Amino acid sequence: MWLERLQNIDRRVIYTVLLIVLLAPMIKPIGIPLTVNQTTHQVYNLIESLDPNTDIVMIGMDYSVAGAADVHPQAVAVAKHLANRGVKMVMAAFVPDGPMLAERILGILGDRVTYGEDIVNLGYLAGGESAVKKFIDDPANTFARDHRGNPISSLPIMNNIKTIHDFTLIIDFQTGSPGYQDFLRQLPSDGPLYAVGIVTVSVPNVMPYLHSGQFAGLLPGLRGGAEYEVLIGEPGEGAARMDAQSLGHLVIVTFIIVGNVAYFLSKQQEKSRKK
């Protein structure tokens, strides 16, 4: 009887246990030690190698609010790193939520950057892959005004951008389409390096591109963001949420094991009854 019950635990019990396990570490963080993956190191080292005097980075704000819990901490941590190093950033979005999320990052960066000189939020361009292509073809003239309504010609940072080759690195934070496939199809082979920050669920899909060298780096989901925060020595929301995600995974695995042990034992009982 109890084996039967363990195989069919009420979903409300699962929901409640998961809710408690997710909420508890957010209220009182545990601080589970976090080791940094090689892919995150790769992005960090890439940004460390940039020259603040000559290099400009394009940040693709191609993630939606829905996936922001997974990707936003990465974008914030990378932007902080670039700002700390004095590397110039051009933010552009090919999904509608992007410019508003870019404004949030600008709010977090505060005095570390001067808007228009060190960083710009170009806004959103509709068109999916066509829009990506247009920006790659002519980054200087694709946006007439930035997200705040300033003419592009009035922004000193944009005086340095004539072609896509003026960017040393494109780091694209994304949750779907347009995303890495659109950029990889449209970027010239001698173009800037391309790295991605992506939702955890998409990580298995992008592994071949990382191994083939088409990606210069990969930040995998919330963990990537948390690891990056550790690397730059500024723990933020990524690190805080990692405890919750970690315990959540453990709870799911525990439920799976419990269900399978009960299933296995009930099968054994059934067999012995038949004998």
Partner 1 sequence: MKRSVPLLIVFIVGSILLATYFFQNPTLDQARALLTNWGVIITAFAVGLASVNILRIHTARIANRRSGWFNSVALIITMFTFIIVGIYSRHNPQNTAAAELFSNLFDYAYSPFSATMYAMLAFYVASASYRAFRMRSFEATLLLAAAVLVMLGNAPIAEQIWTKFPVIGNWLLTVINTTGQRGIAIGVAIGGFATSLRILLGFDRGHLGYGE
Summarize as ranges the residues that interact with partner 1 (CB under 8 A): 9, 11, 14-15, 18-19, 22, 32-35, 37, 64-69, 100, 103-104, 125-128, 130-131, 133-134, 137-138, 148-150, 200, 203-205, 207-208, 211, 223, 242, 245-253, 255-257, 259-260, 263-264
CB 248 within 8 A of CB 22: yes
Query: Measured from the CB of residue 77, what is the shortest distance to partner 1 in angstroms?
Result: 17
For 146, other C-beta atoms within 10 Å of its C-beta total 23
Cα(94)–Cα(123) distance, rounded to whole angstroms?
8
Query: Measured from the CB of residue 257, what is the shortest distance to partner 1 in angstroms?
Result: 8
Q: In terms of CB distance, is 82 or 125 closer to partner 1?
A: 125
Q: In terms of CB distance, is 6 or 232 closer to partner 1?
A: 6
Query: Measured from the CB of residue 126, what is the shortest distance to partner 1 in angstroms?
Result: 4
Q: In terms of CB distance, is 84 or 150 closer to partner 1?
A: 150
CB 185 within 8 A of CB 158: no
Query: Measured from the CB of residue 53, what is the shortest distance to partner 1 in angstroms?
Result: 32
Q: In terms of CB distance, is 36 or 193 closer to partner 1?
A: 36
Cα(111)–Cα(102) distance, rounded to whole angstroms?
15
Q: In terms of CB distance, is 170 or 203 closer to partner 1?
A: 203
Query: Measured from the CB of residue 131, what is the shortest distance to partner 1 in angstroms?
Result: 5
Strands (E) in 48-133, as ranges, are 56-62, 88-93, 119-124
Cα(93)–Cα(174) distance, rounded to whole angstroms?
10
Q: Is 80 exposed, middle or buried (0-12, 13-18, 19+ CB in 10 A)?
A: buried
Q: DSSP per residue over 124-157, as a string?
A: E--STHHHHHHHHH-TTTS-SB-TTS-BGGG-GG
